[in-house]
């Protein structure tokens, strides 16, 4: 048996709690766009939410068809506010069952041993991973809005590296959790699509709405489980011969399929915000076959499944209304309005976050507010992301007595909820 590291063998004290501080939902790389690394280090920057005195990494080979070998992994705090340089004083080796190297079997994740490192809240952690063998990176998060680095050789412990590639993707890494002491820390998962993923926001700025929400939630880890192009009900299924064949695998498994992996598997999760349905409405006929056209009732049924599964796991679950988006189909917007009316008034979510009301154009509520539009009529810009974060009542995530949560619609009217 491999030796057990002291960190892994340390018993957990009663006041310790492991909580997710960062996440990126994994997807599959299309065959035509699989990065292949060999004798190279991938150095990646992740922006944390809650802090702790130890951390664990969650690596992923969940889309891989063959085993994947990792030669060495190191973590460190970033030096400065840009780039991928590290602070040498914070450099730590990551082990797996006491070993510096690890093999991820096909289709699996891998948790590291605890790493003793004081990780401040809302800090930048640099994760350096050496891949000694030819490694097709089939499992990745495709749109990180964060520039990372690939460098030759094993340079995991170097302060600075010379990048041969600067991918705006996260490779083989899906989560970071921290050990907290005392208090009542927990985690929130934002389950969504490109709007939650931060598509079209400023690169390297961490202006996704979950990132902007995190400073208002000092005792809550905020985990972004958005995947650009994601749908509630269907996996990627691009029409044969269309351009979508070249990128649709990036859209990830349906939310119903990935819920356990991307929500329940993270430590300390207590809350889920669901903001999905845009692509179920908009993709059929373009990114997906017409046969996958869905009704409003089918979208509502998918939401009900997520509510039921979250509640079974003891989580609070909150519904986000679908934002307005440019469409030439009155039928599509009619479905959106039906779904939003159910989210607002159905009373099935523990609370409602009315993103639609916040983000609509006051002169034409069926369209995105021009002040918040990135330019495509669909994705919010950085100001829009800030408005979305501000729309989430921070009071939802404070410890509450049983039954203190209420379903809300439009403005918050319940005294236990606050936007402060």
**HEC string of 309-327?**
HHHHCCCEEEEECCCCCCC
The verdict on 104 and 166 lying in the same domain is yes
Residue 14: per-residue pLDDT: 54
The verdict on 9 and 84 lying in the same domain is yes
> According to the 3-state scheme, what is the secondary structure of the chain?
CCCCCHHHHCCCCCCEEEEEEEEECCEECCHHHCCEECCEEEEEEEECCCCEEEEEEEEECCCCCCCEEECEEEEEEECCCCCCCECHHHCEEECECCECCEEECCCCEEECCCEEEEECCCCEEEEEEEECCCEECCEEECCCCCCCEEEECCCCCCCCCCCCECCCCEECEEEEEEEEECCCCEEEEEEECHHHHCCCCCCCCCCCHHHHHHHHCCCEEEEEEECCCCCCCCCCCCCCCCHHHHCHHHHCCCHHHHHHHHHHCCCCEEEEEEECCHHHHHCECCCECHHHCCCHHHHHHHHHHHHHHHHHCCCEEEEECCCCCCCCCHHHHHHHHHHHHHHHHCCCCCEEECHHHHHEECCEEEEECHHHECCCCCCECHHHHHHHHHCCCHHHHCCCCCCCCCCCCCCCCCCCCCCC
Structure tokens at 121: 């809240």
Question: Which residues have a Cβ under 8 Å from the Cβ of 183 and sit 6 or more positions away?
Answer: 17, 219
pTM: 0.92
Q: What is the mean pLDDT of each run of 10 residues along the chain (420 residues)?
A: 41 74 97 96 98 98 96 97 96 98 98 98 98 98 98 98 97 98 90 98 98 96 98 96 92 98 98 98 96 98 98 98 94 97 98 98 96 98 98 87 39 37
The verdict on 204 and 220 lying in the same domain is yes
CATH number at residue 365: 3.40.50.1110
Distance CA 175, CA 169 (A): 14
Structure tokens at 196: 């939650």
Distance CA 126, CA 47 (A): 9
Q: Where does a domain end: 151, 180, 209?
A: 180
| Domain coverage including residue 126 | 1-180
The verdict on 278 and 396 lying in the same domain is yes
The verdict on 334 and 351 lying in the same domain is yes
Q: Where does a domain end: 135, 158, 180?
A: 180
Distance CA 301, CA 323 (A): 19
The verdict on 211 and 272 lying in the same domain is yes
Spell out a b/e string for 112-122, using b for 16 or more CB atoms within 10 Å of the CB, else e: bbbbebebebb
The verdict on 200 and 174 lying in the same domain is no
Structural contact between residues 69 and 105, judged by C-beta atoms closer than 8 angstroms: no
Structural contact between residues 54 and 178, judged by C-beta atoms closer than 8 angstroms: yes
First to last CA, the chain: 51
Q: Where does a domain end: 165, 180, 195?
A: 180
Q: How many domains does the chain have?
A: 2
Residue 13: per-residue pLDDT: 55
The verdict on 61 and 109 lying in the same domain is yes
Strands laid side by side in the 170-171 sheet: 27-28, 139-141, 170-171
The verdict on 94 and 176 lying in the same domain is yes
Residue 401: per-residue pLDDT: 43
The verdict on 205 and 260 lying in the same domain is yes
Residue 257: per-residue pLDDT: 98
The verdict on 227 and 369 lying in the same domain is yes
Distance CA 125, CA 78 (A): 6
Residue 411 has a CB neighbour count (10 Å cut-off) of 8
The verdict on 109 and 193 lying in the same domain is no
């Amino acid at each position: 048996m491999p030796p057990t590291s002291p960190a892994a063998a340390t018993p957990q004290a009663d006041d310790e709690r492991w909580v997710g501080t960062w996440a990126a939902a994994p997807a599959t790389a299309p065959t035509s766009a699989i990065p292949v690394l060999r004798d190279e280090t991938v150095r990646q920057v992740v922006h944390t939410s809650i802090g702790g005195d130890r951390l664990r990494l969650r690596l992923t080979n969940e889309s891989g068809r063959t085993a994947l070998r990792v030669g060495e992994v190191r973590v460190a705090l970033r030096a400065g506010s840009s780039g991928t340089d590290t602070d040498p004083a914070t450099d730590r080796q990551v082990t797996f069952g006491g070993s510096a190297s690890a093999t991820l079997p096909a289709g699996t994740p891998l948790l590291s041993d605890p790493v003793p490192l004081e990780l401040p809240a809302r800090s930048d952690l640099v994760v350096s991973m050496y891949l000694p063998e030819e490694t097709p990176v089939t499992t990745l998060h495709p749109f990180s809005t964060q520039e990372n680095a690939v460098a030759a050789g094993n340079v995991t412990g170097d302060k600075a590296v010379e990048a041969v590639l600067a991918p705006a993707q996260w490779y083989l890494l899906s989560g970071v959790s921290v050990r907290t002491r005392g208090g009542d820390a927990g985690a929130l998962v934002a389950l969504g699509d490109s709007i939650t993923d931060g598509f079209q926001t400023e690169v390297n700025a961490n202006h996704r709405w979950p990132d902007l929400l995190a400073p208002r939630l000092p005792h809550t880890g905020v985990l972004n489980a958005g995947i650009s192009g994601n749908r509630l009900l269907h996996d990627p299924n691009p029409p044969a011969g269309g351009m979508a064949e070249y990128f649709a695998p990036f859209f990830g498994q349906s939310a119903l399929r990935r819920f356990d992996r991307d929500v329940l598997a993270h430590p300390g999760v207590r809350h889920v915000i669901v903001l999905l349905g845009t692509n179920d409405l908009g993709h059929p006929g373009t990114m997906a076959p017409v046969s996958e056209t869905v009704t409003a009732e089918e979208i509502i049924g998918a939401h009900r499944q997520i509510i039921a599964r979250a509640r079974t796991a003891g989580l609070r679950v909150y519904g986000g209304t679908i934002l307005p988006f440019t469409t030439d189909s009155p039928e599509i917007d009619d479905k959106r309005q039906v779904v939003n009316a159910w989210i607002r008034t159905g009373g099935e979510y523990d609370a409602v976050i009315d993103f639609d009301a916040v983000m609509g154009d006051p002169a034409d509520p069926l369209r995105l507010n021009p002040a918040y539009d990135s330019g495509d009529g669909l994705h919010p810009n950085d100001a829009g992301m800030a408005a979305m974060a501000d729309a989430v009542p921070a009071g939802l995530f404070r410890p509450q007595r049983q039954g203190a949560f209420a379903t809300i619609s439009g403005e918050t009217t319940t005294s236990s909820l606050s936007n402060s």
